[in-house]
Homo-oligomer: A and B are copies of this chain.
Amino acid sequence: MSKILRINTKNKTYTFEDVPEELAGLGGRALTSKMVLNEVPATCHPLGQANKIIFAPGLLSGSPAANSGRLSAGTKSPLTGGIKESNAGGLVSQKLAKLEIKAVVLEDKPEGDDYSMVVIKKDSVEFLPADEYVGNGNYDTMEKLWDRFGKKTGVMCIGQAGEQRLKAASIHVADPQGTPGRALGRGGLGAVMGSKKIKAIIVDDKGTSRLAIADPDAFKVANKRWVEMLRTHPVCGEGLPALGTAVLVNVINEAGALPTKNFRTGRFDHAQEISGEKMVENMEARGGVVAEGCHPGCVMKCSQVYHDKDGKYLTSGFEYETLWAFGAHCQIKELDDIAMMDRLCDDFGVDTIDTGVAIGMAMEGGLIPWGDSKAAIELVKEIGKGTPMGKILGSGTAFTADALGVDRIPAVKRQAFPAYDPRSVKGVGITYATSPMGADHTAGYGVTANILAVGGTVDPLKKEGNLELSRNLQVATAAIDAAGLCLFVAFAVLDNEDGVQTIVDLLNAQYGISLTPDDVVSLGQSILNDEKEFNRRAGFTKKDDQLPEMFNETFPPHDTTWDFSTDELQETLKF
């Protein structure tokens, strides 16, 4: 029987609790958002003793279902001041599921300055002193922890940014190679973990057996269909394995939606130089790994290992959004320098999107010149050093803009925009405005029907259909996040009549239940309602569900503007 592991970080005690009825059918984001709503006072300080951070494997995590190893983490965000769910791959989710732990809750907060780590095994939960790792980045910390606890453990930890409790600090989850390419990236979760003085959590599933499945035969049948569906889809089975998410640089640039020089135009003259094609060319010439999964059971393998020009490991999990944030947004065209900044962010434990967009704010504010990649690298290094400049940048885009008196800030709910201009991909724009998470492409990825012709087509430049597109995707995404599935399964699901039913079959076979596709929709809506309710209690109003003024400007090359009113936007998530 799964349990909730509740950890008091002040007293260094823990309890295993039975799962109450209300939470029994929930996992991943559904569980973290419900627990945050129920247990965290919405007006508390995110770094205070009343906040909690909750880690939960998805409903399918730990099972053999393909791409089901995502971990959700929920909290009150230091970045947005609202609820936050962030999710990541890596090894932790599946191991927690195998230990039959439905959620790990970090509560309260110690008074002193000493750091601890928590080691979770089949028959024990241990607090160990972690001061020896303090000041270490995620690369060193993960290496040392694997040396100490073995390479079969799942590790998640914070770097210097989390220790400094910076608003853009992430929590990194070791991938199967033990490197910190996987991040609970957005919303400052690392700061919350830092405020609780937990440097790392180590999860060891030694001694556990296979997860029980209620109807193994039905599960096998469904999973076979599932794997087939993923492998044969052009995005999941071809685009992502070939070029990673970096496949999008040329695609989005071609669509005129690659925000360049802080969202002034949708085409970057040097897009080719920072593209997936260029990245793969380098990897093929220098060594590295072109297609790698972020967790066992992944069949899409959108991750990679990127080497420097001397053929040495530089970074991994090098995403399109990172390429864009440090690249086109800052007018930087040096791919290796962007890779270095990706590595630095992973090492210090800070969100690449909010940090990259913040570097653009430093350029906007005249601190360094546009396009100066060397100056940008030096700025990013400040985060690790803990200088005042580093604290500003590590606090994210909106904070950096404020410190520098910049009023051209691409952020909603204080979270930086990702790599798609809302005027040229309006389905994503609706998501930026209305997601309870703040500007977040993964919360309702309208690029599907807007650009990729996945799940139908909706004109990206017009209003028609985009609100509905975002709504449906936000609902579907919330459900996918609850299942612990990788979001990229959505491409295949949207293009297969049988897609949602296959997920439902997997869930039904695993738990011996009888959900319908309608139940999945209800689950997604109920997650969003929980999140909206938390934000309402935290003081959010409809003015928080808008894009900033700068998007009233006409955007080349399509010369579109943002033309949704506040009241129209309020219709998006009304169920």
Contact = CB atoms under 8 A, between A and B. Distances in A.
B45 A548 contact: yes
A372 B9 CA distance: 32
Contact of A403 (B42, B395, B407): B395
Interface in A385-404: 387-389, 391-392, 395, 399, 402-404
A24 interface: no
Contacts of A272: none
A546 B45 contact: no
Interface string A548-573: 11000000000000000000000000
Interface stretch (A159-167, A279-287, A525-533): A159-167
Interface string A391-424: 1100100010011111101000000000000000
4 closest A-B pairs by beta carbon, nearest first, are A165-B405, A539-B543, A388-B388, A388-B389
A197 to B, nearest CB: 12
B404 A549 contact: no
Contacts of A191: 405
Contacts of A392: 388, 391-392, 403
Contacts of A404: 165, 391
Identical copies in the complex: 2
Nearest to A405: B165
Contacts of A405: 47, 164-166, 191, 194-195
Nearest to A109: B407
Interface string A120-159: 0000000000000000000000000000000000000000
Contacts of A389: 388
A195 B402 CA distance: 12
A402 B403 contact: no
Q: Is the interface of A mostly helix, strand, loop or mixed?
A: loop
A48 interface: yes
Contacts of A540: 539
A457 interface: no
A420 to B, nearest CB: 22
21 contacts: A42-B543, A43-B543, A45-B407, A45-B549, A46-B407, A47-B407, A48-B549, A167-B402, A194-B405, A387-B388, A388-B388, A388-B392, A391-B403, A392-B392, A395-B403, A399-B399, A399-B403, A539-B540, A539-B541, A539-B542, A539-B543
A264 to B, nearest CB: 14
Contacts of A407: 45-48, 195
Contacts of A375: none
A29 to B, nearest CB: 24
A538 interface: yes
Given A48-B407, A399-B399, 5 more contacts: A388-B388, A392-B403, A399-B402, A539-B540, A539-B542
